[in-house]
Amino acid sequence: MTDPLHRLPLHALHAEHQARFGAFASYEMPIQYPSGLRAEHLHTREQAGLFDVSHMGQLRITPADGRPATLYAQLEAALPVDFEGWASGHQRYSLLLNERGGIEDDLMLVHLADGAQAEVRMVVNAGNREHDLALLRERCPKLRIEWTDAALVALQGPAAEAALAALDPAAAALRFMEAATLRLLGAECFATRSGYTGEDGYEISLPAAQAEAIVRRLLANPAVKLAGLGARDTLRLEAGLPLHGSDIDAATTPVESGLAFAIPKSRRAGGAKAGGFPGADTILRELAEGTARRLVGLVSREQVPIRAHALIADP
């Protein structure tokens, strides 16, 4: 007997819009809507798609002793990051690595500092939520690492800025990979100017109780349409963005995966904080000597999409 699937805070809204649901990472997810995946994909590229990504894990990380130095030291030992020069309100892409240099998960982190206080907001992949939490708590015993009880939506596409700025003009001032608290219909919401579609846009953490009202207001804009998990996958694939568990996993390293940019120069050989993170020996060696394999993208000449695990042969 399988465990029942979790439902998103916005499940009723998706059902109202006749979403076709499917299981993903223990959640009942909207895969597509009546307009179809292709229409959702193209609308996001041309205007704005709104994706419910509340299945993703949202973490708030703070030092148990209240000292920013503790937060930074613990996370720099657990991840290949460097807080030196990392301005408050800025977001970075990072990797949770194992001792062999494999990618346990890829992450988005925001550094928030105000005087003598500091915290990190982290988003992890849905399928790795509990695994990541356990591993981070094991590696960072001096930190408080807790889930944030909030919905998460991604507003993506060239019309995203105008649509969100209509609710709070401060959204327009955010630059790529910056974060800020916005007030949407009176609710405090945490937004980053980022996403995983290859388009400009935002990921917005919404109080669960106000999420439906905010999403309905966004959808009242004719430029904004709901898009499902299917279109999110084709958009990120078209943009060349890897998906953990599909393109990268615990057996692939950042260098093999074309993600070496996520290793700061200061954590590489010769850097001020060289090494000192899980898998550093393997990764620094691969950066210096190269790897036997590399992740590459292929473009099909056929109209039929290539499915996962399909055999690709050279005729």
Each domain of the chain, given as residue ranges in start order, spans: 1-315
Q: Which two tokens stand for residue 123?
A: 């988003």
Sequential pLDDT tens for the chain (315 residues): 567 899 999 999 999 999 999 999 999 999 999 999 999 999 999 999 999 999 999 999 999 999 999 999 999 999 999 999 999 999 999 999 999 999 999 999 999 999 899 999 999 999 999 999 999 999 999 999 999 999 999 999 999 999 999 999 999 999 999 999 999 999 999 999 999 999 999 999 999 999 999 999 999 999 999 999 999 999 999 999 999 999 999 999 999 999 999 999 999 999 999 999 999 999 999 999 999 999 998 888 887 777 778 888 776
Say how far apart CA 124 and CA 130 lie, in whole Å. Answer: 10
User: Of 64, 79, 62, which Cα lies nearest the Cα of 118?
Assistant: 62
Measuring CA to CA, how many Å separate 313 from each of 20, 247, 249, 309, 310?
33, 19, 24, 12, 10
The answer to whether the beta carbons of residues 55 and 126 sit under 8 Å apart is: yes
Say how far apart CA 99 and CA 279 lie, in whole Å. Answer: 4
Which residues pair with residue 201 across a beta bridge? 156
**What pLDDT does 157 receive?**
99
Helix (H) or strand (E) holding 215: helix 208-219
The answer to whether the beta carbons of residues 55 and 7 sit under 8 Å apart is: no
**What pLDDT does 315 receive?**
66
Those residues whose C-beta lies under 8 Å from the C-beta of residue 224, and which sit 6 or more positions away, are 47, 48, 49, 50, 155, 159, 163, 218
Go through the chain and tell me how many residues it has: 315
**What pLDDT does 2 receive?**
65
pTM here is: 0.95
The answer to whether the beta carbons of residues 19 and 32 sit under 8 Å apart is: yes
CATH domain 1-315 topology: Gyrase A; domain 2 (3.30.1360)
By CB neighbour count within 10 A (0-12 exposed, 13-18 middle, 19+ buried), where does 64 fall?
middle
Say how far apart CA 128 and CA 96 lie, in whole Å. Answer: 11
